[in-house]
Every structure is written in structure tokens, then in C-alpha cells.
Chain A
């Protein structure tokens, strides 16, 4: 059915094409696997170093480490709230212009009492 619309030719697929696709995909997978491995190990090393440091200082290790960690739910809620706040700021504008009418503040410089037109009255 599809071949009526598209000139599909399966015989065009050569061994070199399959080799390229498979090897590229394997390398992508391996690179990301390596990255996940590194970041799986890194926090453990960090925690171990933290433990050693605290043990040296004679502090209660478990309680302190636990105290330094924010629970996941809390961080998720904070992240969500911040993200929503910034989304609001982004390009969701209310498109309402607020032009407040400002009352003229009094100044002797624009007072009618001291207007030059009054000059005649004083003359009279």
C-alpha cells in the first residue's frame, strides 16, 4: 500500500548502511551509559569523603548527612513552584496597560494666583 505512494526499495540497504547505523547507535548508548555510570559513582564518593571529613571532626555522621539532604518531595515542590513562577514571567503577559491618572501636584510655579495676568489687577 505504502509503496504505491513512496518508491521504497529495500534492496538499497547495504551491509555498510546497517553497520553504520548499528555502530553509531551502540556508541551513543555506550557514551550515555558511561555518563550514567560516572554519575552513579560520583555521589557515593562524595558521601564517603563527607563521612571521613565529619568523622575526623568527631561529628555524628548519619544525622549530619541526613540533615544536609533536602527530601526529594521538598525539592520537587520547590522546583515546580520556581518553574511555574518563571513561566508566568516569561511570555504570558496580561496585555493590559495600566495608565494611572496622576493628579497635578501643587506648585507655586503653576499657581493661578501668581499668574502674570493678575498683574493688571494689582495695578488697578
Chain B
């Protein structure tokens, strides 16, 4: 009899709170968005399912080693991958093995758009200060403006681990909503004439330049911001595996099998960080509001900087300011948004090739920003 009572006390029905049920609904919403609208399904399905796992109610710290934050549990093992920055570094390695930096090498001035779009990080940092977050928390929240999941996980785990769940969910949620957030801002800040600017095609890039890029870029960025090495080191290492063409097997593993494995573990553990008991706080709501603002400011920063650059460029070298929006490092979704918006204004104007340059530059820029913030605050 005693066993039955203990069993019932341990059941989810006995331990469910409105918070758990609310988070289960959020998890279901993520899964719905992924399946119904195909919004980032490779991320939203693992995260959504992770939310369901993390919010199935049970008695925490009852010695059953179940919860994410309980030492010894299998979920805690996954959580360590986030907390110690293992998953973000591995994801960067895989992204490096997938990314072609040719468009960026062909037109290096577009790197500046990736820098301009990091404006959102620092404005959001100031915004978080005004909402009463301390310096470290504000910096961790600010990185939402980078629109880069691994970078956000990396910085949040170092500066504000207690806010990691909210920050990561905000980043991935808004990344999935990039096709909804960016287009109105892009249209608002550009004229019809600007949107139909046709850019000259990028030049061909030699293998020599492609091989040299990850090495030189690592040395330049690493010497200035060594704290970003665990991200950028892996990114450029992955890219060298790809571009050297002599380590095809390693590059293939990184971009296929390893990437999928890390995405599964990262997605599920990120979702599970949203345990209702630690996630549902007013602070999480503020982080979500700040996250939306961060994405908008970053998009606007990229677009406006492209317009400023146009003031100094000759007529044949003008930039279509829409590609500035791809400076946020949500890759490749923001580049696809630019392509779609460009086609709406001129069905013959394909901007995706040009948009990939600020897109990858944004990814590098966000990791540099994370490293520099770490250097200042740690």
C-alpha cells in the first residue's frame, strides 16, 4: 500500500503545476510550427520535444536523478554540453565545414554589413540595464541580437547560467520567426528604387584564397579577441577541413553525422532547460521582449549601414540595402528572406549570392562580439 502511495506521489499528475502545463503547451507550439509551417524544423522539433521532457512533472531532488539540474542524471550530462560550451564549439566546427566563404572573399567590403548588424547586441545590452538586469546578465541577454544560437549559449553559459534557458529559447524562437520579423523592417527602411538595385556578380575565388581565408581570419580575430577562440577556432578549423580538399572524410563527417548528432543533443537539452520551476519568471518575459527588440535593431543596423555605404560607392558598385538584413547571423534563413524580398521588387534580381557574404560575416562578427564581451567582463 505504501508503495502505491509513493508511486502516486511521484506521478506527474500529483506534481503538475499550471507552469508545467503552460510550458508543455509552448513545447507543442514549437513542434506545431516546425511541422505545419516548416519553421526551422531541425531545431524546433528537438527543442519542442526537449521542452516536453523538461516539463513532465516529477518530484525534483528526490534522489531519482531525473531533472536537468540534478547531478548524475542523463539530462544533466547533456546540460554539461551546454554549460561547458562543448555543443556550441562543435556546432561551429560543423558550420565551418559546411560554409562557403567565397562570396565574402570575392567582395570583402560586405564584411562590414556583418559588423553593422551587431549593433543590436549592444543596444539590447543597454536595454537590459534599464530593466534592472546586472552587467553580466545584460551582456548575456544582449547577445540575443547576434541571432546566433551557439554564440548565445556560449556567452550565456559563461556570464549568466541561470538565464541560459530563457536566452536560448528567445534566440531560437526569434530565429525561427526571421521570415516574419525582418521583411517589414526591410521594406520600411528602403525605397522601391533601392530594392531593385542589381549588384554586379561576384568574381571567381581561387582555391589559394579559400585555403588562406580560415588561417588568416583565425589569426586576425584570435589575436584581437582570444576569448572567441573556442568558437572561431572551431569554425575556421572546420572550414579548412573543407577547403583544403585533402581531408574530405573529416569534412564530410563534420557537416553530416557530427552535425546531426550535436543538433539532436543540443536541441533536446536546450528545450529541457525550460523547466517551469526555473523558466517561468518575470525575467524570462523581459528577455523575450528584449530579444524581439534585439532582432529588429540588428536588422535595421545592417540595412541602414548598407545605405550609408552606398553614399560612398560608385554607381556600378552600389549595394542593394536589402542584403544588410542578412548581417544578422541567422544562417541561411536571413539570406533566404533577402532573396524573397528582392524577388518581390524585381523578379529577375537574385540577391542570395550577395546576401550570403554579410550572413557569414555576421556569424564571425557575433562570435568576435562574444569574445570581446568576455574579455571585458571576465
Contact = CB atoms under 8 A, between A and B. Distances in A.
B221 A35 contact: yes
Contacts of A75: 102, 201-202, 204-205
Interface stretch (A65-73, A95-103, A112-120): A65-73
- Interface bin, chain A: 35 or more
Interface string B199-228: 011111110110011001100110011000
Contacts of B119: 25
Nearest to B356: A79
Contact of B131 (A8, A24, A33, A73): A8
Given A17-B125, A18-B126, A28-B372, A76 B365 contact: no
Contacts of B13: none
Contacts of A17: 125-126, 129, 135, 138
Interface string A29-55: 111111111111011001000000000
Contacts, number: 143
Contacts of A34: 220, 224
Interface in A1-21: 6-10, 12-14, 17-18, 20-21
Nearest to B221: A31
14 contacts: A12-B129, A17-B135, A23-B376, A27-B225, A28-B369, A29-B118, A31-B224, A35-B111, A39-B213, A40-B109, A46-B208, A69-B203, A72-B203, A79-B102
B201 A71 contact: yes
Contacts of B369: 24-25, 28
B209 A32 contact: no
A8 B329 CA distance: 28
A31 B225 contact: yes
B317 to A, nearest CB: 13
Contacts of B350: 76, 80
Nearest to B113: A32
Contacts of B116: 29
